[in-house]
Amino acid sequence: MTTARPASDSERSSIPVFDQRPAEHPSWIVPRSAYLHIPFCAHKCGYCDFASVAGQDDLADAYLDALRHEIRRSLDDLPSLDTIFVGGGTPTRLSALQLERFCDIVRDTFRLLPGYEWTIEANPGTLDRDKVAILARHGVTRVSLGAQSFDSDALAALERNHAPRDVFRSVELVREAGLKWSLDLIFGAPGSSTRTWNSDLDTVLGLAPYHLSCYGLVYEKGTELWKRLQAGLVEPVDEDLEASMYETTIDRLSAAGLDQYEISNYAKSGFECRHNLVYWRNDAYYGFGLGAARYVAGLRATNIRDLPGYIRRIERGEDVTGPSERLSPLERAGETATLMIRRTSIGIGRADFFIRTGFELDALFGPVLRKHESNGLISDDGHTIHLTRKGIMLADCVAADFTEPIQP
């Protein structure tokens, strides 16, 4: 939460005025980050909208071959990377041998810059000592564990297939290996209450985490949980209750030294996820694998989500790109503001925004800034815009207003 106060008139007059556009900042052109996708899961959780597959583990070896080919043929030489994020799916669903192969692919296809961050997502039910040792040996620095809840009823409602004890065991293994770790939690699962959510927070704080991601449950269209909601078989938690769970999360984690640095992410200072900060700055990143998104030099593209189709196309030397869109400079500026405002602690710095986009924030969003400052959703100290506490609660609405910049 920001404590920045609104700008006084005299401060406003000192807002830096830029009369020359800077040279294009290379961070939106040249990626220093890559996302790699491993789609395999033991089963499909009810709320899952990700590019994940269950019951197709027999395709894992062919998938790793295809992934290596996709990376190799997309890049002229070994790119130097500062961050890698391996998501899924469940990367640790791969066998120990396959995980070893996968890590070799990463080491063979990318050059990792000194001090790099390499995160891998793991399902607590699929992590064991051997796999953690493989990750540590290959230089993974951070494990993101999909805990979601410590409440058996909530895990059942979300159709997760791990038990709370798996989370404790996984944290222990990752800690012993000297890796950083983070936990994902979901609040607002059907049947949850203030009591169960506070109990989850008690438990997670008992583990002394340095990074947590806490999301409100979303009933994504087409998922099993969404279908059950449509059929009246699931009762969602009340909106006010969910908002109060979110507020409780912010307050309790902040009191424990885990500051909210993005609307769903909390960390001790220096333990923020650098890879995700790349997304929220709208910097460039590569994306490889099934359904993976990439954003390079203003071109946003997403790979196809059909696993056999992905492997087949790569084997035939065909493109695996699905939907893509080239953003105009103005669209890119709109996206940049929309993403940056999510950074609750950093906000949108006027000078930074100009350097990244070539546009002055006030020229594109003057009326939006004035509207949300007067309704108390943002604060403005003359240099930086932040969401206020009230704005954090309505972050999606505020961010949506930045998608349509004024044509300068």
Min CB(48)–ligand SF4 separation in Å: 3
Of the two residues 32 and 275, which places its CB atom closer to ligand SF4 in the complex?
275
Written as six digits, the tokens of 113 are 């810059």
Of the two residues 33 and 90, which places its CB atom closer to ligand SF4 in the complex?
90
Q: What distances in angstroms separate CA 187 from CA 87, 184, 199, one per listed residue? A: 21, 10, 11
Q: What distances in angstroms separate CA 190 from CA 133, 186, 202, one per listed residue? A: 36, 11, 20
Q: Phi-psi region for residue 282, left (φ > 0), alpha (ψ -120 to 50) or beta?
A: left
Min CB(89)–ligand SF4 separation in Å: 5
Min CB(156)–ligand SF4 separation in Å: 13
Q: What distances in angstroms separate CA 364 from CA 9, 17, 20, 383, one per listed residue? A: 20, 14, 16, 15
Of the two residues 89 and 188, which places its CB atom closer to ligand SF4 in the complex?
89
Nearest-angstrom CA–CA distance, 80 and 32 = 6
Min CB(290)–ligand SF4 separation in Å: 11
Of the two residues 43 and 107, which places its CB atom closer to ligand SF4 in the complex?
43
Nearest to 56 by CA among 28, 83, 93: 93
Min CB(262)–ligand SF4 separation in Å: 20
Nearest to 79 by CA among 286, 223, 261, 267: 286
Summarize the chain as % helix, strand, coil (round to 5). 45, 20, 35
Look up residue 223 and give its DSSP letter.
Answer: S
Of the two residues 50 and 402, which places its CB atom closer to ligand SF4 in the complex?
50
Min CB(74)–ligand SF4 separation in Å: 24
Of the two residues 146 and 347, which places its CB atom closer to ligand SF4 in the complex?
146
Min CB(157)–ligand SF4 separation in Å: 13
What is the distance of C-alpha 398 from the center of its chain?
A: 19
Min CB(148)–ligand SF4 separation in Å: 8
Of the two residues 25 and 44, which places its CB atom closer to ligand SF4 in the complex?
44
Residue type, 212: L
Helices marked H in 325-360? 329-340, 350-357
Q: State the residue for tokens 């953690």.
A: 132
What is the distance of C-alpha 237 from the center of its chain?
A: 24
Helices marked H in 36-176? 60-74, 96-109, 129-138, 152-157, 164-176
Of the two residues 51 and 258, which places its CB atom closer to ligand SF4 in the complex?
51
Min CB(236)–ligand SF4 separation in Å: 18
Residues that bind ligand SF4 (CB under 6 A): 41, 44-45, 48, 50, 52, 88-90, 123, 146
Of the two residues 24 and 224, which places its CB atom closer to ligand SF4 in the complex?
224
